[in-house]
Structure formats: structure tokens, C-alpha cells
Structure 1
Amino acid sequence: MLKFGLNKHAASALVGLIVLTTSGCSGNPLKKRQKPVQVVYRFDDHRWLELHGFACEGALWFVDEQRDIRSEVSSQFYRIFTHPYINASERYIAVPWWNSSGMTISRDYGRTWMYSTVKGREDDEAGSDSPEYENIKSLTVVNDQGFLLTKQGHLYMSSLPFDDPRIMPGGEGIDYSYTFKGKVYHDRLEAIRPGKGENVSRWGLLYIDPRILPVRMEQYYANFQNLPTRVPEVTGYTGWTHMQCDMKAGM
């Protein structure tokens, strides 16, 4: 019967190899690597967006030092928006998404967040219903209103920054008239019920191409009337004009 064994020196060398392999040269490789934290956008000197993750993807947080706000915008999978981006408002914040025309919206200085809806013309060369990411030129937020501009010159905008009380829960509704085949009809737009359609009907959550307003009920809302016809001029802005991120952070 054959026997295999190790002499004292070989055994010692083997133990050392095992220790080296399991402990690593500079610490325990089994210890979880800390995610890098990067400031990927600055609104001003006291407000910014933080990305927690590797390769410029991860959880996104909003920070406002003056108001003592720290809120989660996205729990994971956020990637930075690469087009020009200016957010000059404080109460109203629109955070754009990579490879999408959608945004995450806050209407209370960044304390809480909701998703936006984007509506446009079905035959728009910039994308059916909402513009494709490759056709987006810029996002500008000013005067508590957002303006999504395409390379084709089309403008999607949020409502003026207030709710029309007539269509809010408990409101009296809106009476309106329309003409069909030469005949005038009268109808009524009832107020929304609590929890039913509030997110889309509340100010700032729907981005719409004004060219389609004449065929949508929003034309009767007070906050969708007398909208700007172009992106307003931004003055005195001290924040960044693009998001930025280091792909190698934490590697």
C-alpha cells in the first residue's frame, strides 16, 4: 500500500500558500467592495445629485444641504443623461434618464419623486408619441416648468406650475363646447376622483407637445393655457450644464 505525505518544510509552505490565497496581499478579497459615490450633477453650491455605483450606473440620490434634504431618486440602474441639461428651478426638479425621454419629477424641492409622462404626435419624426433619446437636444427647467427640446425643433413642456382646482378632487369640473361636423356640442369634464388619474393631471407631471393640445382634454385646463412658445432664457444660473461621471471610479 502506497502512502503519500509531506515533510515539515513542504507542509509549512502549503499552509503559507493557503493563507496567502484566502487572505490576499492587501486584505480579505471576500470583503464587499465599497461602492464609489460621485457627484454627477450640481444645481448650485448646496444642491447636487450623487451616484452610488460602479461604471457610472447605480442608485441616484438628491442632496440639498440648506433644506437638510437627502432623498433617493432611483434605487438602482440609473445612468447619466448625456445631453445638455440645465435645472434652474428649486421647487421643481426634473431628473432625466439615459436612453429615454422620461423623467423623475419632484415638485417639493426634492423631498419626494414621481415619474413623468411624455406625449407628442404619432407621426413625429422625433419618435412616436414621445421623442427617442437620440433625437433629444436638451432639457431645461426654469420658472418651475420643464422644456424638452428635440433636434428637429419640437418642444415638449410641462404645465404651468399650479393645479387647476376645477379638475382636482372635490372641484366643480369644467364645462366646454366643441364643434363636430358643423354642429356645436356641450359637454362637461368632471373633476378627477381621489387616487384616479391624479399623477397625470397634477401640474408638472405631463410633458406635452403643444401641437396636440387642440385634440386633448388638457386644452381646457388653466395650467395648459398660454404656454410659452419656446424655451425661456435662463439667467444667473450657476450649476452644471451637463451631467458628468468617471467610469473608472472605484475600480
Structure 2
Amino acid sequence: MKELTILSGMFLLLMTPLVQAKEPPVQVVYRFDDHRYLELKGYDCEGELWYTDTVRGIHTEPVSQFYRIFTRKFVHPSEHYIALPNWESDGFIISKDYGQTWQVAGFSPGPNELNGMDRAPREDVSSFTVVNDQGFLQTKHSLYTSSKPFEDPRILPGGPGIPYTLENGKVQVLEAQYPGEAWGMVYMTKLGLEGTTQEHKTNWQDLPDHVPEVKNYQGWDHMRCDMDAGKAK
């Protein structure tokens, strides 16, 4: 009888359809143009973030989990330099090779805000624009920018360095061995730039006071996400 019970259990197991775990929904949350877009895989508009460029054959994962979309105005015609803000607006996931690899960029550690903060509160952010391989985060009070998209040749390997004078008259040299942040890796205001070694580099000079105008943009101007995607109706 015991053997019969075991055989009956095995038969029922074989006859029961296998129940597969349901995959989280995937939805396009942003389109840059007709061949580049972002997809979010997850429930409640949070999860994995994927970047696709069908022309270059690129399909990469900038964020592996817990990404929440940026809800402010977002305009991004730039292709070589890609910068993706998040819901908190507390940093950026950036690529400097068309989306093939990704790094984390942040705000300068100095006082970008008049109250001494290094970045603006999320509620003050109004838009983020990436054009001509340079990012511009506009807030109610300030404009944060990344550097122009190149390195000052003087601080590249073999370069002569950049001499600068301290307030006490002492001359220092910014050398290639310790050049500071690479282009596109830090965002700061003109207030935050003052007094830093970055201000001596050519890629941090003559920055605009306003977000550059973007004409004939073919992409979306906001990220979009359906909170009910994948849920039973």
C-alpha cells in the first residue's frame, strides 16, 4: 500500500502542469530617437534599466535593480555622451562610448548651493538636458553642468601640467598624475567651480549661464511609466 501511495503521488506530480514564475513586465520608459530607447523591467516603475541602440547594435544594462524614473523634463539628443538621472536627482549613470559601458557621475563635493549644500534638493530640479555631449541640470536657483567633452591636453600623460597661483602668491602645478575628475564625470555650478583646480582646465571655462536651446528634437521630453504594468486587472 505504501508503494502504491508513492506511485500515485509521482503520477499526480507528472500530470500537474509546471507553474513558471511570472517574469516582471518590461516597458519602454524613454525614447531618444527612432533607434535609441530605455526599457524598465520591474513592477511599480522600479527595477532593471536597459539601454538599446538598434543602429549600433548596443543592448546594455545601466542599472541592475531599484531604478526609478526621472520625472522632470528630460531632453537628450546627445549620442556619444549619455547621462541618465534618477528619481532622486542625486547623481547620474553616464556613458562616454555611446552606451556600451556605464559609470557613476556625481556632484562636486563643494558648496554648489548658497546654503552650503553640494547639490540642489530634488524638489528644486526642473529639467535635465544633454546636448553636444554635455549635461545641464536646471534647478529653480542654479544651473549644474558637466564639463565640455574633452580633456585639457596639458594634463594628459606627457603634458606639461597646468600652473596656477594660490591666493598667497605661491605657484602650483596641476599635473597629469593627479588631474582631478575626468570630463563628464562631475556636475557643478559656477559657484561650486570657483576655487577648485577644475576651473583652470579649458574644458571647464566659458560655460553657459543657460541651458542651450535644442531644436527639432525627435525624442520624448519626459520619461514615462505605467505603474500598473504586469498587474492583474
Shorter-chain TM-score bucket reads: 0.7 to 0.9
Q: Aligned to 1:216, which of 196, 199, 207? A: 196
SS of structure 2 residue aligned to 1:49? strand
8 Å CA contact 1:101–1:136 kept in 2: the answer is: no
Q: 163, 176, 180: which is aligned to 1:191?
A: 176
Instruction: Give 1:62's match in structure 2, choosing from 34, 43, 51.
Output: 51
TM-score (normalizing by structure 2): 0.87
2:131 is the counterpart of 1:174: no
Flag as ranges the 4+ runs of structure 1 deviating above 6 A: none
Assess, with a 3 A threshold, how the Cα gap between structure 1 residues 123 and 69 changes in structure 2: closer, same or farther. closer
State the AA in 2 paired with 1:172.
P
Deviation at 1:123, TM superposition (A): 4.9
2 CA distance for matches of 1:37 and 1:123?
38
> Which residue does the alignment assign to 1:33?
22
Q: Displacement, 1:168? A: 2.9
Q: What residue in structure 2 maps to residue 3 of structure 1?
A: none
Distance in 1 separating the partners of 2:113 and 2:205: 24
Q: Using a 3 Å threshold, how does the CA distance of structure 1 residues 68 and 214 change in structure 2: closer, same or farther?
A: same
Rounded Cα–Cα distance in structure 2 between residues aligned with 1:59 and 1:192: 37
Residue 136 of structure 1 aligns with an amino acid whose one-letter code is V
Q: Which residue of 1 aligns with 2:39?
A: 50
Given residue 54 of structure 1, which amino acid in structure 2 is its aligned partner? Y
Normalised by the size of structure 1, how large is the TM-score?
A: 0.81
- Counterpart of 1:249 in structure 2 is 229
How do residues 84-233 of structure 1 correspond to structure 2 at under 5 angstroms?
A: 84-119=73-108, 121=111, 123-125=113-115, 128-152=117-141, 154-180=142-168, 184-192=169-177, 201-233=181-213
The answer to whether the 8 A contact 2:40-2:47 is kept is: yes
Equivalent residues, number: 218
Q: Which residue of 2 is the match for residue 7 of structure 1?
A: none
Contact 2:112 2:189 (C-alpha < 8 Å) held by counterparts: no
Structure 1: which amino acid aligns with 2:60?
S
Change (3 A) 1:218 1:89: same
Q: Please give the alpha-carbon distance, in whole angstroms, between the structure 1 residues aligned to 2:211 and 2:121.
A: 19
- Percent identical among aligned pairs is 49
Q: Distance in 2 between matches of 1:79 and 1:247?
A: 11
What do the CA deviations read for 1:171-228 (whole angstroms, capped 9, x no partner)?
3211112333xxx2211112135xxx7xx62111110111232211101111001111
Larger radius of gyration: 1
> Residues 119-163 of structure 1, C-alpha deviation per residue, up to 9 Å, x if partnerless?
2526535x71111211111101111110001122x0000001101
| Equivalent position amino acid for 2:80 in 1 | R
Q: What's the Cα RMSD here? A: 2.1
Aligned to 1:179, what secondary structure does the other structure show?
coil
- AA aligned to 2:150 is F
The CA deviation string for residues 54-99 of structure 1, in whole angstroms up to 9 with x for no partner, is 1111110100000111111100100111111111111111100111
State whether residues 112 and 188 of structure 2, in contact with CA within 8 Å, keep that contact through their aligned partners in structure 1: no
Secondary structure in 1 matching 2:192: helix
Q: Note the residue ranges of structure 1 that are not aligned, 5 or more in a row.
A: 1-14
